[in-house]
Amino acid sequence: MHELSLCQNLIDQLTGLTHRNEAIAVARIEVQVGVLSGVEAQLLQSAFTLSKLGTVAETAELVTTVIAPRVVCLSCRAEAEVPPNNLCCPACDSQVTELVRGHELILARVELIRDELSKLEHTNHV
């Protein structure tokens, strides 16, 4: 399945992040999966379970957050969560809307494990 290929790339990226940040392993990652991204969160979980074996992410926990479609109405400016096959404005029925959430596939958070006490309180953004 293509989720396996995506995970293989994810593992590569996590390996790079681990080394660059002088960490020894990955503890936890959070991925946001939009309902309209074409990726299934559940299949991503199964694929990750297989892909992480023998890597820096072997004991890592993958937390997926499924992001529901959200539109902004270009007529009445209302913003609302909507079902994936009805992206019209629930407030005014307009079909002229813009999808603002729900098509994303984002690695939002990575928690790494470090072996040095001196780096315990270090937090940064890469």
- Reading the block at residue 73, the tokens are 């109405």
89 touches 49 (CB < 8 A):
no
Minimum distance, C-beta of residue 82 to other proteins, in the bound complex (Å): 9
Q: Distance between CA 41 and CA 57 in Å, rounded?
A: 18
Among 13, 49, 65, 75, binds other proteins (CB under 8 A): 13
Minimum distance, C-beta of residue 87 to other proteins, in the bound complex (Å): 4
45 contacts other proteins (rule: CB under 8 A): no
Minimum distance, C-beta of residue 90 to other proteins, in the bound complex (Å): 12
Closest of 13, 101, 4, 12 to residue 44, by C-alpha: 4
Residues of this chain, 52-91, that bind other proteins according to CB under 8 A: 71, 84-88
* Distances in whole angstroms, Cα of residue 27 to Cα of each of 20, 31, 56, 74: 16, 14, 9, 42
14 touches 57 (CB < 8 A):
yes
Backbone φ/ψ region at 54: left (φ over 0), alpha (ψ -120 to 50), beta = left
27 contacts other proteins (rule: CB under 8 A): yes
Among 4, 63, 76, 80, binds other proteins (CB under 8 A): 4
Contact residues toward other proteins (CB under 8 A) are 1-6, 8-10, 12-13, 16-17, 21, 23-24, 27, 29, 31, 36, 38-40, 43, 71, 84-88, 95-99, 103-115, 117, 119-120, 122-126
